[in-house]
Structure 1
Amino acid sequence: MTAVDNEPITFDLDAAEGFLRMFHVAHPEAGPVGPRLSRVRDEVAGTGTYRHTPEELSYGARIALRDSGWCTSGVPWRRLKVRDLRGFRNAAAVAGGCVEHLRLAGNGGEIRPLITVFAPDGPTAPGPCIWNEQLIRYAGYPDGPDRRLGDRRYAAFTDTVRGMGWQPPEARGRFDVLPLVVETAHEGARLFTVPPDVVHEVRLEHPELPWFGRLGLRWHAVPVIANMRLSIGGVHYPAAPFNSWFVGSEIGARSLADEHAHGAAREVAEAMGLDTSTERSLWRDRAVVELNRAVLHSFDLAQVTITDHHAESLHRLSWLRSRQRPAGNRPAFRLDPGAARRARAGGPARFSPHPVETTRPQYPGRLAELLRRRAGT
């Protein structure tokens, strides 16, 4: 067996059978489940795992996203596009697939929900993993004259990738895009620059405050969650990035306003002339409201898909009333403790005891171009 995060990979045949029965109930055109179960049992007996058909993979990924709660309102989960890249195990290929995911999902502002599935864990060859929490995240700089520069949530991650060879821009900014970190068992952790042409950002302005645009705030358009493990019928896909679209308050309240992230609430409040000497003035609340208004206004102005937190609250209540209860054989997205630590601290590496490879960022644009030509897009 291969150790991953210091835990052996084991196979759950009951989960496979439960999922396949579920799939065949939903897809009667696939025929009776018995012959498929027999083939899977033989495959597991011979290899220690089995391979999903493209139809099974698509169904499992869609159900996992639907049931996870990450599917924002308005997303037609039955029509989510599933990109089957299970043959991609090398870091450069995975990075190129992620770049193409961003390109396709951006879709000129009309965000297209996608899931890209890379190679699974297996008894002899564990799948790759992506360290980043999202494919696009901004650096945080805890050192230097301005300790408030950038996104403080990723200050430790920024330090780690700098130690691995990433060079931030000579003039550091508040919105410097971090490199992708892709780790494989045979290559270690490698860095890849995210090409600027797939980083679609929206510059923020306010519908009523003309000075707001001069603050220089902006945010990326596509939230691609990258570090969750997709589990389908006993098979685990550690790299399966997926996206829907942003809820405005995720950007305005959580990422921009929060003192532990970009900390822009005070800056906005001071520009509004509010009393920031005491919390009882509720300056922070007023600033957050205006940040959220600016986000929704700017995304709408740029014709980039976004939803607001009121619509999302209604959607979430409906989801809670109708969702399936967790079961071992249902497809799911899961965040492993090690993956959560890597996303914020930049370690520890998934494949212990292999050392993290020190390398300069690589530009995957050429690979993405080849993939795009092959797909005929």
Structure 2
Amino acid sequence: MKDNIHHTDLMEAAKPFIELCYAELNRTPEEAEDRLMNIRSQIELTGTYEHTLEELTHGAKMAWRNSNRCIGRLFWDRLKVFDARHLTETSDIFSALLHHIESATNGGKIMPTITIFKAARPGEAPLMIKNHQLIRYAGYDTPDGTIGDPASLSFTKECMELGWRGDLTDYDVLPLVVQQGNEPPEWLAIPKSYVLEVPLEHPELPALKEEGIKWYGVPLISDMLLEIGGIMYTAAPFNGWYMGTEIGARNLADEGRYNKLPLIAKLMGQDTSSETTLWRDRALVELNAAVLYSYKKAGVSIVDHHSAAAQFGLFEQREQQAGRELTGDWSWLIPPVSPATTHIFHTSYHNDIRSPNFHYRSKGQ
């Protein structure tokens, strides 16, 4: 009875996906119906079904389009999709991850990319990429305080327990960690040549360059689940390019991360004795200006939050023209710097979760 329930749920998830996917690909209703009959047979025989390359590719793009928290969805149909479902050896999976990093980085002209590995199957432990992002800096607890990224303390400890060792700097790139089913996780150090990093400088604060602050070029999210038509892909790393505030207003600015606002304020000669001087706000703007200036100088793709908001406005228009109701999570769509200067701040959105989509892993996964 349990299998029958699972089969019914899976078929109910597959049907609307196939119908919408095929309609958007200008396939006929008859083709969609034939495909659904084939899927039903696969589910009855195996308990699951496999997407065609066309379904996988368009489904991944639809998932980006449905990602309520993403301000960069204007470019959803330009997503480059790598099909890696056939890979079974961990060494080949590592090679595919390195290929993703290299292809997405593209010498600084970043390409929105996703690599999709084998789907979860009923009764089997899934393939997992343990990293939050394919490229991220380590964090170490020391008697003198945290070195590196405090957000990485737990994962860095896991990596060290597996045998990895960093250099105890603020910018040690963590290894890739892959776990196949119930097998022990394995790690691979990312060759330095694959990691594009941007040293931070400011056109009006020359002393900033001497601080050695830097950030990596590409945000490659690797710990989310991709759901397409009821099929769950537990390993599907993806990337766009950075919006400057992600680095300048969060990664480098948050007190629980690199906490660089006091340093920037000092370099600016700001009075930090009182909050009424708004030294945090002034420092925050200049830190964000430094990020945008440095990335553009290095030739690495990035977008400021005003341009990103304008692009989102165009995405809203195009969705309306396509007859699709736009969904969004307002609390994530507003930028963390000067949100009221964007139209998003003054707009409301329905936060309905649609399929296909990306989902956060539950704890323990």
Deviations 1:156-210 (A, max 9, x none): 22222222222111xx211111112211114222222111111100111111111
Residue of structure 1 equivalent to 2:268:
272
Deviations 1:20-75 (A, max 9, x none): 11122112346621211111111110000111000000010000012114655485
Q: Report how far residue 154 of structure 1 moved.
A: 1.3
Aligned CA distance change for structure 1 residues 235 and 329 (closer, same or farther; 3 Å): farther
**1:230–1:240 CA contact under 8 A, matched in 2:** yes
Residue of structure 2 equivalent to 1:183:
179
**2:242–2:302 CA contact under 8 A, matched in 1:** yes
2:7 aligned with 1:14: no
> Secondary structure of 2:265's match?
helix
Deviations 1:66-121 (A, max 9, x none): 21146554853223210000012443322221111000001011001111000100
Amino acid at match of 2:237: P
Amino acid at match of 2:256: H
**TM-score normalized by structure 1?**
0.82
- Distance, in Å, in 2 between the alignment partners of 1:45 and 1:326 is 34
- Distance, in Å, in 2 between the alignment partners of 1:175 and 1:10 is 49
2:258 aligned with 1:262: yes
Gaps of 5+ in 2: 1-5, 320-325, 328-349
Question: What is the aligned-residue RMSD (CA, Å)?
Answer: 2.4
Matches within 5 A, 1:163-202: 163-169=161-167, 172-202=168-198
Instruction: Identify which range, 210-219 or 153-162, moves more after superposition.
Output: 153-162
Q: What percent of counterpart residues are identical?
A: 40
Gaps of 5+ in 1: 1-7, 339-347, 351-377
Matches within 5 A, 1:1-377: 12-29=10-27, 32-69=31-68, 72-73=71-72, 76-145=75-144, 147-169=145-167, 172-316=168-312, 322=319, 323=326, 330-338=355-363, 348=364, 350=365
Q: Report how far residue 328 of structure 1 moved.
A: 7.8
Instruction: Identify which range, 62-71 or 315-324, moves more after superposition.
Output: 315-324
**2:112–2:240 CA contact under 8 A, matched in 1:** yes
> Secondary structure of 2:142's match?
coil
Amino acid at match of 2:166: P
Amino acid at match of 2:355: R
**TM-score normalized by structure 2?**
0.84
- Distance, in Å, in 2 between the alignment partners of 1:279 and 1:10 is 59
Q: Report how far residue 256 of structure 1 moved.
A: 0.6
- Distance, in Å, in 2 between the alignment partners of 1:320 and 1:173 is 43
How many aligned positions are there?
331
Aligned CA distance change for structure 1 residues 142 and 282 (closer, same or farther; 3 Å): farther
- Distance, in Å, in 1 between the alignment partners of 2:213 and 2:253 is 11
**2:65–2:73 CA contact under 8 A, matched in 1:** no
- Distance, in Å, in 2 between the alignment partners of 1:155 and 1:189 is 18
